[in-house]
Amino acid sequence: MSTTADAGMKPTRVRHKILGLVVLAYFVTYLDRVLISNAMPVIQQEFGFDIGTAGVIMSAYAWAYALFQIPGGWFGDRMGPRIALACVVTWWSAFTFLAGFSASTTMLAVCLFLVGMGEAGAFPISNRALSRWMLPSERGFAQGTTHAGSRLAGAATPLLVASLIGAYSWHVPFWLFGAVGVLWAVFWYGYYRDLPREHHGINAAERARIEAALGTAPKKAVSIPWKLILSSRQMWTVAAMYFCYGYSLNMFLAWYPKYLNAERGYDLAQMGLFTSLTLAAAVVGDIMGGVLSDLIIHRTGRIKFARQSVAMVGFLIAAVFIPLGVHMDGPYATAAMFGIGVFGLELVVGNAWAVTLDIGGSFAGSCSAVMNTLGNVGGAIVTTVTGFIVAAYGWSAAFYVVTGFCIAGALLFSRIDAGRKLAEVAAAPEL
């Protein structure tokens, strides 16, 4: 640990290196998540099941991911992000690797369920990891950057998976991505510390800056105020808004490659290329959403207005351009319209997660877990029902449902006040 002799020195930037590691964690999470939907057309062809069965198999991951959000957030708050995040990344990476050996639909579904169980803790625990390191004025940027890491993986994975499957088989990306996750977990455990004062690389100047903004935190575990969290109307408004976001985004993560293949007639290479082009817009939206929100806070000091204005505009952009994508002719025009729609959705996400930091404080992990639970219930529902909607009414109807949820999300965000904390938790003295 640094001493007070360092006080006159330029602050270190350990918190930004930690942010970089969290960005990589989000990247690894989406490597595995987007792998499933992009490998599914090939797996479906090999095993010979229909589109409804494909939805059920993918929903095994989606429902586990939704149901274990709160346990994952609790685990992170209870054990601390250093141990908890290393554990869950190792868990899901191991089962991603095993999924590559699947010889039946049952084995594949079980492995995907266990992958989803582990990944459920990733975002809540990562949010908790940042809550003791990132300054309030950096939170929008931090959340936008972390989610940009996940969407960068979402954009890169289709091309990578298509190349690996074309050169080898669908099994290989599961093995490769599983190994990458284990390597990340080892590096995280070696570098990250739960509190700034425990990190050997931080100097007194950076530590003082962090603690001046955030206070200090007790080393021992504290009781999580579930009654307060679960009885908060604002918390449930945040969660309902994120349900709308989760349903909408997962249409693109789970079903967009299949849509391009089945409705537009794209082959494996085209499917990978145009899925990547569409999801690349998400990276820009993530970063811009966080930067714009922080900029408004710096200029006006109005945190409620900053979070609301950017997120509501994002939802409304998605509501306009997703239907245009459905009716657009030509692959590049289609990708552009859907891409702008996804860009709009991603203006939302950094602000949504920043809200859980704004209102949750020391219990940001548990608050974000509640929000992300509802978001991923939405994701699980769209993964499960879209195959049946398409079979009954066609692909256009499935995208119109997404449009409706985007409008509802904008209305719900208008009711969220990021400046109103769930509780004022007094800073505990250093031990």
DSSP 71-102: HHHHHHHHH-HHHHHHHHHHHHHHHHHHHTT-
CATH number at residue 250: 1.20.1250.20
Number of folded domains that form the chain:
1
Instruction: Report if residue 431 sits inside a domain.
Output: no
Whole-angstrom CA distances from 163 to 2, 166, 268, 302 are 48, 5, 9, 47
Look up residue 99 and give its two tokens: 């999924």
Q: Is residue 343 part of a domain?
A: yes
Distances in whole angstroms, Cα of residue 398 to Cα of each of 93, 255, 259, 318, 418: 32, 10, 10, 14, 32
Q: Cα separations (Å) of 234 from 39, 137, 228, 279?
A: 39, 22, 11, 31
**22 domain-assigned:** yes
**C-alpha span between 292 and 310 (Å, rounded):** 7
For 215, what's the count of Cα atoms within 13 Å in the CB-facing half-sphere? 11
- Sign of torsion, CA 33 37 42 43? positive
Residue 420 located in a structural domain: no
Report the chain's terminal Cα–Cα distance, integer Å. Answer: 15
Separation of alpha carbons 251 and 259, rounded Å: 10
Which helix (H) or strand (E) segment holds residue 162: the answer is: helix 139-167
Label residue 50 exposed, middle or buried (CB < 10 Å: 0-12, 13-18, 19+).
exposed
In a domain, 139, yes or no: yes
Q: Domain span at residue 172?
A: 12-413
Handedness of CA 65, 68, 73, 77 (dihedral sign): negative
Q: Which residues contact 85 (CB under 8 A, 6 or more apart)?
A: 25, 76, 121, 122, 125, 126, 129, 185, 188, 192
Residue type, 77: D
Distant-in-sequence, close-in-space partners of 30: CB < 8 Å, separation ≥ 6? 149, 150, 151, 153, 154, 157
Is 425 among the domain residues?
no
Residue 4 lies in a domain: no
Closest CA to 414 of 332, 318, 317, 305: 305
Per-residue pLDDT of the chain (431 residues; tens, 9 = 90+): 444 444 457 888 898 899 999 998 888 888 887 788 778 888 888 888 877 778 788 888 888 888 888 888 778 878 889 999 999 999 999 999 998 898 888 898 899 999 999 998 888 888 788 878 888 777 777 877 887 787 787 777 877 888 888 888 888 989 999 999 999 999 999 999 988 888 888 888 888 888 887 766 554 555 677 888 888 899 999 999 999 999 999 899 888 888 888 888 887 778 778 888 887 888 888 888 878 887 888 788 888 898 999 999 999 999 999 999 999 888 899 989 999 999 999 999 888 988 887 887 667 767 877 888 899 889 889 988 898 899 899 999 999 999 999 999 999 999 998 888 876 443 333 33
For residue 97 the two structure tokens come to 């690797």
Asked, for residue 43, whether it belongs to a domain, the answer is yes
Distance CA 139, CA 9 (A): 25
Say if residues 219 and 196 touch (Cβ distance below 8 Å).
Answer: no
Contact 32, 119 (CB under 8 A): yes
